[in-house]
Each structure stands twice: as C-alpha cells, then as structure tokens.
Structure 1
C-alpha cells in the first residue's frame, strides 16, 4: 500500500532535513566551545608556571629598583617562550621594566587572570616577607584553530550543503522513502487486531496526523526498553574517556614539571646572584656565581663544606639562630647584610636571604646572596666626590663645615681650643687673568700640596673652600702660639716662587685666625670672624696673619720678633743662667741647684724659657741653645769649686727634641771634659713624655749617660704617660714630683693621694724623690712626714742669679733655709 505525495508530506520532509542540518551545526558549535575551553585552561596553566618561575628572582630586582637588571631578567627567562609580553611594576604601580613585541600598560593592571578575544593575561602581586613589593604581568595570544578542527568544519559544511541540495532538487525521492516508512508503520500498528486491515484511503490531513502520532508512540515503546542499557554503556564510555584524559593530563603535568625543574636549574645556573643550598649546615649545591664570589674555580669545591665556615666568626651565633627560627616558622629570613668569608680568608660584605624548603627527604635551606664590595667602593667614591675638590684633592666646603662642627662639639669635654684659619691668596686673580685658567689651576694644585706639607705631623685639616680660598682647622690647641707657628710656616711656604709655564711667580697669602670658643662657639660665627680677620690682614699689607683678638695679634707679633732675634742672641751670648736651690729635708742644707736659662732680650727685657724654648725647637735652634746651657752649667760648677763652694749638683733640663739628637752624648761629654768636673755633679732632667716616646732608644741613651757618671732624673713626673715596664729598666736616680700635685696640698686629698702613690712607686724602684713647687709651710710639713729627700720652690727661693746665689749661700751656712717646725 502506498501513499500519494501531498503538500503535507513534502513539508514534513523539508522539516526533517533542515532539522538534521541544524543538528550538524549545533554539534559543530559545541565542539568549538569545548576546544576553546581546553585552550583557555592550557594557556592559564602555562602563564601560572611562568609566573612561579619568575617571582623568585623578581624579588631581588624589585628590591634593587634596577630597571636594567629587571629587563635583562625578563629577556633571559622569556625569550624562548610563547609569552607575547611581560612587565614588572613597582609597589606604587609604576612600570619598572618590560619585554615583548607589544606595549604594556603604563601602570599595574588589575590582579588575576583575564581573557579577551586575542589572548589571555595574568597579573600577580610579588611579596617579600608578606609585604607586597611589586606586580608581575604576563600576556600570551590564543592559538589558531588546528588542522583537525578546520577539516571538521569543512566536512560539516559540505554535508549540510549536500543535504539541502537533495531536498531542493529531488523532493519526490524523499517523499517515496517517507511513504515506505509510513506504510510499514501502518501494518505494524494494525497487526494486534488479527483482522485484515481495512481498506485505507487517504482522507486528508486528519488521517495523516493520526498516523504520525501512532508512529511516535511505536518509536517510544521500542526505545524505552533499551534506554537503561544505553545509559549504562554511555556512563562506562565516559569513565573510560575520563581515565584516558587523566592519564594524558598526568603525563603532560610530569613533562611540565620536568621542564619547569630544568628551566629553574638553568635560571639558577646563569643567575648573577650567588645561590647555595645547604642541609644540616653542609653545602649540597652551589651555582657558578657562588663559586666566583667565594673565590673558587669550580662550584664543586664548595660542596661538602660547612656553610658557617664562610660566615664571620663573630656573626655565626646570630646567623645560626636566624636560620633556626626561619626553619621553625617555615618562612624566609629578612634580607640583611652579613660579613662573609671567601675561600682565601678575605672578608666581604654581602646581602643575604635564606629560605627553608623541602628537598627530597631532607629539610634544606636555599641561600641567595650578593657581594656588596663593589657597591661599597662605589658608595665611598660617591662620598669622596661629594666631599672632595676634584682639582686639588682636598676636602671641600661641605666637609670643612662638618668637620668644624664635630671638633666644636668636643670642646666642652676638654680645656683645649680649636683654631680656624681662612687663607686667601694674594695677587692670584691678576695672575689667573694674565695667564690662562690652566695656569691658575696648576697654581691652586701646588698651593694645596704646600699646605698639606705644612700641616704634616699635626692634626690640622686642610680644605679648599672655593676659588683661591683655603681653610685650615687645627684642633686640640693648647696655646695660641701653636697656631701662630703653623701660620708662619704656611706664609713661608706660600711665599716661595711657583714655577708655571716657564715662569716663576710670587703670590703670598693673607690669613685670618679665630679660636673657639673665645671667638665663637659655632661654626658660622667662627667662619665669619675668620673671614673678617683675613680681610683685615689684607688691609695691613698682605702676606701676614692676624688673630681675631687684638691681644693675640700682639703676642703673635712678639713671637715673630723673638724668632727673628733668637739666632743673633745665641751668637752674641745674650743669655744667662739662673739657679733654683734644692734643699735636703734631712739636713736642711742646700745640696744642689737647677739651672734655668733667661734671655736678656733687647726689646722685651728678661724672658723666661717658656717664651722662647718652643720657638727654638721649631726653628732647629734648640741644639746650639742646649749646648750653650750645658756648657755654661759645667763652667759654673768648675768656677764654684775654685771659689771653695760646697760641691753642689747642677740639674740641667733637656727638651724632648734635644734628647733625641744623635749628638747628645758627645755634647755632654765635651762639656764635662772641657770644664774638668766630676760627671756626678751634673744631673740631667728629662720630661716623662720625652723618655717614654721611644722606649728602647731611650734605654740605650740613658745607659750611655749613666756609664759616663751623669746623674739622671725624671722631671714633672705624673703629667705624662709612663710605662712601668720601661720605668723599671731606666737607669734613673731621681723622680721629681710635678708642682701641679704640690700646689693644693694639704687641702686637696686627691693630690695628697697621688703624691703618696708617686713616692711609694719611687721607693719601690730605689729612686730618690724631689718635690718641686713647694711654696707654703703647710706643704713642707706634709712632705716632712713622707720619705722625700729634697724639695725646691719659692718657700726656699725663686730662681736667682749667680751673684744672688753666692749671697744666699753665705747666709744659709749660718742658718738653714727651711722654716723651723
């Protein structure tokens, strides 16, 4: 039985065909969505792995704020990768460095994974010690659809097109196929009645609809029995597919891990930072940078060593405790500076961070460190450039003011003063304009060199303040005379010709001097007063120095006059010896005298030695002056013998400079031999500082003098710094207690204790004791109760001339010079 074609059948045929085509396209769409989802997961996983690898070393470059190092890190780590672009941002969001073909955002983008039509991006915060220090940004493009996907799309398109063509061009064929299906369905539906099918004839649309509904009911009955079995089969298929996908994912993950480990190892190997891994204190890994920093040729030389062997011994307890605490809390240590030790024992500063981690079955520590030696040298160089003058190499004005304030701050702790000199070159501007600036620079460099030479062996600091102006800070000044001596030396040095461009040029200088705290307690006041004084020096004829205080100017002028006439007075014999008697406490008789020089100056009258001895030492005249004193003392002793006086000992003072002269032994021997006296009549008094300055040389000189028969005494004992190990080896006869300890006796208990201690020390060394500066009866009475052999001072007599000494000796023969108890 057949059905004739009708418009309804044709429409139904078209509906089924187009439904099949639609199903093809829906399946294609689902396939493309699944492929896109898989591609998204692959890209996001890859970005996360690259971010994890980069974050370790990104911490270091972010800490350094070094864009060059950051760019190099991104380029080296991402060049052979699918990453299209990468960027590092500082904590404030500003761009530090980027890499790639595209232009990155100027400021740090929002955090997290972001998808867009052309690719995927990832932005993550980088932390150090739970503190955000920057942001890492990575971006990669999506991969185009593969060959399989494109083939599938083409197949679906061709199939859909063919089906549509068949529908449009051969509709009768489909109608006949549909008639066959409907006839078969009709017979099957009629079979249960076991009666012959009634004659059927098409009766329009209603009959066709009934048949269609019967066909649907039959199809549902046929499929309902197999549905459960089909569901179980589909579930098993899905489980198998999931297992296969899981195995494939595991294989991919293992490959990714291997690739990540290899990439990380390569990163560590080529890292400019030194990397060491140690377990239980023993080094198990070191990269080439660690070998280079530690001073070995091969990283293998570091393996097996105790990591603490490369830490400064004083820092080891602290470092060990820091690592222990980090491991117990499972966190990195802070990035700190430590003192490390190279293989050759050299110390160097390093920036170190240690991170505990699980390495196999062992708990290990990853140590990343960087040698800071070059940075320290650069910092020192920058410091020098900021505080030193490039032309002369001298400290500049900034250094000058800083050092001046430092010395002024320390004045309150001492009774010393600080001197400030402002030096301005005379005629320099004329020479600089007449010749060339190169010549002027050469003169300034030579001036700086001469100033430094003048201040050698002193604590003075020379600086260039700008132009042709220089400054000198002279700390720890006891007397203004010291400053005047240095100023004269500077004037003399700068008064010598300067050889420039084949010419000899004369300059000179004007110097203004201030003293703190009398002329100002702060740097600004001292500088201002020194500059005004320097201009005052220029007004007074240039090439001179002036003190801010007029009284100091007078004293300085007197000093210059003394120096100018000293040499002439030595030749003319304008000096005279005065004598201060020494009395034995046991007998009350005069047993010796101390010879003290006086100068009959033609302008200033009688001058004590304190006003010209230092000048003689500075000018080198101390040798002829000392020889004159020694010779005259021996001549007086011989003369007194001829007059029938008692055999008085004569004590002669030797300065430190005189004691260190090679000709001292010869001078003493010649003076004694020329006078023909017993060497025991001469007692040489040396200051405590003079004999202690050169211990071994002092012993040799003293032994030679002792072999000659000369008596030896330490003068002003207690005012210097004595070494008992040397003191017991010196062949001394007498210890003289300085007058500063006698002055406040007996009221000052501290001085009384010091005097007692000195006397006990002298007796322990079998030395005689002489107390100088005795001026009161109370002082005398206290000393009488001590084992003191001799005293001298104004209570007996001030220093007097030889004629006055003869008169007093005559009187003292009748009555002791000591007051009666």
Structure 2
C-alpha cells in the first residue's frame, strides 16, 4: 500500500542565477577590501619598521665605531707603555724621563689630553698637553713633600721652562683611576680599568680615564692612566643622522649624558656640550625624555626597536649596550616613524585597478555558469517527482558538464532500480528468517540432550562436583557434594542456592575454626570471585582429606571437583615415615637426623648456646649377635633405644644410623659440664644388662662428642666426622666411656699436613729466602759476622720463621736439599758483599740429617769452589749440640774433613745437650754458642745465670770462643760484658734482615754507649751480682702474686732471701762505701715491709689500694739495684 508523500521542505525561495550573482558580488567586494587591508597592514607598516630598524642599526654601528676609535687607541698605547717603562718608575727629579716616554703618546692621539701615573708609595706624575703647543708637568712625592705641595713645570711653545711649587691637596692614590686599578681591586696586573666619567683634577673638564697597574722591580705598584675629554666623544654623536630628524646619544649606566646628540636649533655648541654628565632626562629635547620613559616602561629592554607617542605622533627608538671595561654604556637612537614611511599612492593604485578587473571578470563568468546549471537541475527536479510517484519508466536522461550533477542523476537512477528490487529482497529475507527459527529449535533440542548427559556425568562422578556461574550461584552439584560436606537436604533444595550460602553454613558450623563468621565468608567468597585455576588439599573435621581442583569457565564462574584422597595420604605418610625413621627402633634415621642437625645449628647460634653431637657405638654387640642370634640382637637394640631415649631431654634427638651405631643431638647446652650428666646416664643405661627370652645380654657404649659452633666454620657432615673420630679415641682408651673432639688439635694437624704437602712446591717455586742476623763484639762495637737464617715467603701467610716449617721436614729428604741451598746462597751473598766492599764471615745452620749425608763434604767443597773469592774460613757451620751427640764418631770425622777445607764449626744451643767434657774435647768446634734460653732469663733467674757462668768457665778451660744469643735488652749486654762474654747476637742488637739491608746496617752501627768501658767483674763480686738477680726475681714473684698470677707469695722474711743472706755474711762488704751499704740495708728492709703490707691488703680484698701501693715497691726495687751497682762500681744503668 502506497503511503502519502511526506512534506520535507518549503518550496519558497529565490532563483539560482540571482542567488549566485549576489554572493559572487559580496565575495569579490570582501576580497578586494581584505587584500588592500593586508597589503597595508602586513606590507607597508612592517616595511617602515624594517627601514627604521636598518637605519637604527647603521646609526648604532657608526656610533660604536666612533667610540671604538676613541677608546681603542688609549688602550693599545697604555698596554705598550708597560714595555717602555721596563719595570722602573721614571725619576721624579727629571721630568724629561717621563715626558720622553709619554709625549709621543699625546702626539699620536689628539684625543688623549694628559697622562697621569702614581705609585703605591705616593709618588705621582702628570703630563698635560695644553693649547698653543704648551705642556705642563706636575710632580708629587707624598713621603717627601706631603700631599699639599707639588712641583709644577710649564713648557712654553718656544721651549721656555718655568718651575714653581703649588700648594693644593693631591694624592694620586686617592684618584679614581688609581683606586680602580690598585692591588686588591679585583683586577689582575696589566688588566685595563676604565673610570666612570668625572671632572679632571687639573682642567676641571669632564672626562674619562683608562688605567693599568704594573709591578716595579723594587716591589712597588705603579698605575698609569690616559685621560680623554668627553667633548671628543661627543664629536661622533653631534653630527649623527637617523632618518630626517633622528638623534643619537651615549649615556652612562646611571643615565647621565656621555656623548651629546645634535643640539636644538639656535643653541650654541659650547652651551650644548655643557650638558655632558647631566641627567639625560633633563635635556631640553622632549623626544629624548619621552623615549627614556618608554624605555623604563619596557624594563630597559635591549636591542629591539620600540615606539612611543609624542604629540600624537609615533616615534621609534632603540637602546643598545656598549661595554667599556668593567662598566656598561648605553647608545640610544630615536626618530619619528614618519621619517621611514614610503609614498602610499604609487603603491596602492595599481593594486586597486587589478582587483577591480578581477572582480568584473568573476561576475561575467558567474553569469554564464549559472545558465549552464539551470537546465539539468530542472530535469533532476522533474525526475525526482516521477520517482516519488514510482513512475520508473518515465525518467528522462540527464547530462551536464558538472560532475556533481551527473553524480546526482546517476544516484537517482540507482535509487529507482533499488526500489524495483525491494519487494524481491523482502520475500527472500522472510524465507531466511523462517529457516533461522527452525535452526534455533534444533539447537535447543541439542542443548537439552547435552544438559541431560552433563547431569548424568555429575551424578555418576565418583567424587563431589559443583558448578558455580558468574553470579556465584550453584547451578549444578551432585549428591556426593552434599554427602562429603554433610550439607542438609533443605539447603541443597533451596532455590537460587549460592556459593556464599554453603560457605556461611560451613562457617557457622565451625568448619573453618574459631573467628568472625562473616569475615570468614567474605574472605572465601572474595577469593572465589577471582576465578583462578587452583588445586588444594583440605582436611575436613571428619578427617577426610579432599583433593580440590577448581577450573574457571569461559562464561564466568567455575567448576570444582572434590576427590577423597584419605587412603592415598595414609599411604604417603607410611612411605614418609619409612624414609625418615628406622624400621626396627622407630628412631629417626640418618636422613632425618642430618636434617634436624642442619636446622638446629643456626638455631642454637641465634640463641647464644651450643649444640652437642654424640656418636655412640655399642661395645660387644657383635658378640651378642653371634652367640644368641639376630632376633636377640634386634630386641636388645629396641630395649637400648628406649632406655637412651628416656635419658635424653625433650627437644633432643636420638637417631640410629644402622647396625649398632647411634647419634644423639643435644640442643642448647653450654659446654662439656652441662653434658656430663647426660653422658653418664647414657653410659649407665647402655651398660645395664637386659634379659631377653631367658638370655641376659650386656653391652657398653663408646661415645665421641663434639660441639657447635666452633672457631672454624664447620657443616653438619664435619660435625658427624668429628664425633666419629672422637668415638674411636674413646674405644681405644678402653671403651665404656666418652671422648671430646679436640678441634684445635685437629686444625693444627691439618695445618701441619697441608704445610708438609706444600713445602716441596715452595722449594721448587723459590719461596725460601735468607735473612741475616749480625754478630757483634759489644766491647769494641765491631761487627764480627752474621748468621744466615732461612725464611719461607708464604703467598698467603707472609714471611714464616723456621720454627713454623723446619720441624715438619726434619726427617724429610727436602731438609737436605734446603740445607744445600742455604750454603750455596750464603756463599753467593758473601761474594756479592765483597764486590761492595764488605767482607763478613757468615754462619749457617746444618741439620743432623744433612751433616750425616755421605756426600756432605763433597757438596761443601763444590759450593766453596763455585765462589773462589770467598775464603773458606769465613764460612762457619753451626751444628746443634744434640745432633753432634747422636753419632759422635761419625760426626767428629765429618767435622774434621770440613775443617781440612778451612771451614769452622760452632756448637749451637750449647748447654742443652748434656755433653760430657770428653765429648767436648773431641769435637773440632772452635765456637760455643750459648743457648738463648739461658741468656734471656739470666736477669731474673739465678740458675740460668749459674749455667751461663759455667759455660763461660768451660769455654775458657777448653780455649773455645763463646758467643751468646738472645741479647734482647741493653741490660743483657751489660751483664754479659761484666761476666767476660764480649760476642753476642739478638734482637737487642738487630733483628734478622734481608741481605739488601745488612750492608747499610753495618755502616750505621757503632755499638751502644752503655756497653763501652764495662769492666769484667772480679770473682769476689759475683755474689753481689747473683744477689741482684735473686732480688729482681723475688720482686717479680711478689708482683705476680699480687696480680693473681701466682697462688702463694715468696718468702717475706728479709733474712731468708738471697740479698738478706749476702748482707748478713758481711765478708763481701769489706772495702765498700759505708754510706752506700747503709742505704742498701735500709732499702732492703723497707722493700720487705712494703711487700708484707701489700700481701696483707690482698688478703683483705682491698684491690684498688693494692694497685696504688704497688708502684712504690717497684720504685724501691729499682733504687736498691742502683745502690748495688754503685757497690759494683757500675753506675751507667
């Protein structure tokens, strides 16, 4: 059915031709006006401003060029004058010297009117060029003439000279040209300084001065300045022109006039130049003052062209800086804007005519074009009306030169064809819709079938199943779901059952433990809303273990499967128990024990306690097994395991490693004392007999224990090994006991083993070096030799002494190789010293193993032959007395063969080998070396002093030379000299040093002043010497007792000590100074009284007072020793 046509628009309007002509007329007129306006605004006015900018730039360049001509010459001449002066000031008494330098300067530059100079001490010079060829000098010498008196010299044009004295105050150091360039002004020497404009002192004319400072040879500063008048600067601005009536001027930073612009009409030049140094704003030029105000309004903008209005006339101006030294000048240029405007009419008229021609042409074209558009548009209107009536066959063809009209005609034709096909298309769509409805019915039937199958799967699934949609509704679940979670039937039958309902029911029932029910519900619902895949295990209150797997659904929500894995978990527990516990005793096995040990180690360390590891091995268990069978043995192990477990504390661990080996871990113990009760109870528990089926079995236990932490970082395996080692020591000690692992001994043994393994490599890699310790004659202050001592330069531990490595290779073949190397190296060093002017005998130590080698003599001969410049008797071999006594016959023979080569021998550490006089007589050793243990302790030990005195007597009887080693202090040397022993070596003389240091040491050593002229004591004075040693030892014993280092004090009775007995004898005091003896007796009694008093204070526990009173005792001891030395005639202490 046809629907009535809708009225879409109103037909009232105007013809197309009239419409186009009106709009074209408006467009053309607007375009003409716009072009003219743009031409004027964007072309003519910017052109005028650009012309003004160019004119201003040119005026500024000219002004700056003129200023440069004025200022450059004085700067260059001033710089050149430094070379003319050559570091010396001109003679004040001879002005010709100053004039000879600077008259050419004034002659070269007419703008420089005068030259001034002044020194830092007050001398001043002036050279002024006057009119008519006249010159003036002013000489100033403030130190001599004062600042009020000056010497003036007038030079006439005819050469006549007039001199006079002027009285006026003038000090060059006060003038601005000097102040600006002086030292301390911030300018360096030679740097130029320009003053601000000021009135010259002499001519009172305004001007400016450039000055520079130089340092004279006599240390004074000399400042030289060149003066320029401002009227010369104005010469460049008075005649400057900008446009027709523009002005150029130069002003200072504070806007005073420096260079005047062109004067107003009718004003004389002299009167106009009097405005110099006056404020620019006060000039009788309205344009200048207006420009200055406009400049301030623009925040004193620099560089650009600015404008202002003066009497309704636009003016342009520009201000630019001109730097002069440390100050800044301003160059201002200004002119009326009309000076730069071009003639408008010749430029605008051609443009207007051209625009009118274009407008006329546009109207003609529009008229002709509108006619071509009307016909096809009328046909389009007619065709549109036919289409509205669905008269498709009556449409008329349309052609036009306009693409849009042709496109519109084509669209009309397409629309007509679409309307014809519309009914056919509607029929096809209706048929397609019917097919889709049928397909939807089939899909619904398939979904119903799938739903039935899914329901069957859920209901028959062996576990529980629940399906939750995106809105947290449980859309499906099976009966097993309700049974597993023990959910009531009315809850499951609830319409729109939600996941939150089930969670709330479980929470209210207490399935999730105590707590806020609503909070438990919120937490679990929020977690479920995340819809993430998950798999967890949950143990229900009933004990059932569920494996819960959740899988998100694509449309939201999730499906969850619940499998009962209770039986599987029980089986896994049994496997876990078998993996960590002993099958027979139920005790932890090795794996679980090691894990607990590793966990317990850091735990006890944090708590500040210790952990003990006990390794138990049953003694006699194999006998029980062999005699009674494994069944009895197993039962015995069960009984003993139970006993030992009862002995241990809660928190301790008892584990069976296998067989008859057990390990106990004791937590939080504090050393062996806290473990001993447990160890004792363990030994008793194991040793108690056990009756098994009529058989009585008895065993014991050997226990090794160790502690953690230790000084060294150890792990769990090391602790077990340590306890195992200690257990074997306990077995070897007799069983049925325990032994503590010695970590320090183990570390020492491992270190010794590592060193033994490392020493051959060290020898191969040349890590051994020789140090040399000088031997001296203390009485004559002469170096008599040196002992070569081997050192190991360990890469990690540094330089090691022989005691740290030689004992390790005492019975090793390496000892022979090392000894051979020592001899060869020492001989080579002796040869090198000889080339440096030092001949020094050297002794080397030879071990018993090397000495008894079959080829020792041949090796020694070869080493001597390799160094022909070294005399054989300069080499001395030191042999330990104990080594020589091992095989007296063989050693004596070897020493005799070496002596035939010229090599000397000495017995080292003499006094420690208990050799008989017969052996001493047989050995071909020319030197006896007293062991350092006797020398070191002889000051405090009378026994050592007795041994030393005996060795000296023995060496004298057998005509052997004797040398003492171990001289560590000056006092050691003094006592040896008193006993008649002059040769010595030790740290008190020099420590062993590298060969490179010995040469310098020998040249620098001149003995010790306290060893010169020490007399040998006669025999009758030796008791006094022994008394001194005994007294020093007695006081040391008192001090040790008072400090808690000794359990009991020595004898306090003064009559029983060695000094008291010596004083009581009286024979040794005959012939001694009586006053000294009395002083000695009084001191001795006083010392014993002090000692008794201190011991009493200690018994009373007055420790603080005891320490205060200890110092007087030591001072009294020293005074007593001084008095004894006076009796001996030895006062150099």
What band does the TM-score fall into relative to the shorter chain?
0.3 to 0.5
Task: Choose 1 or 2 for highest CA Rg.
Answer: 2
TM-score between both structures, scaled by the size of structure 1: 0.34
Higher-RCO chain (CA-CA 8 Å, sequence separation at least 6): 1
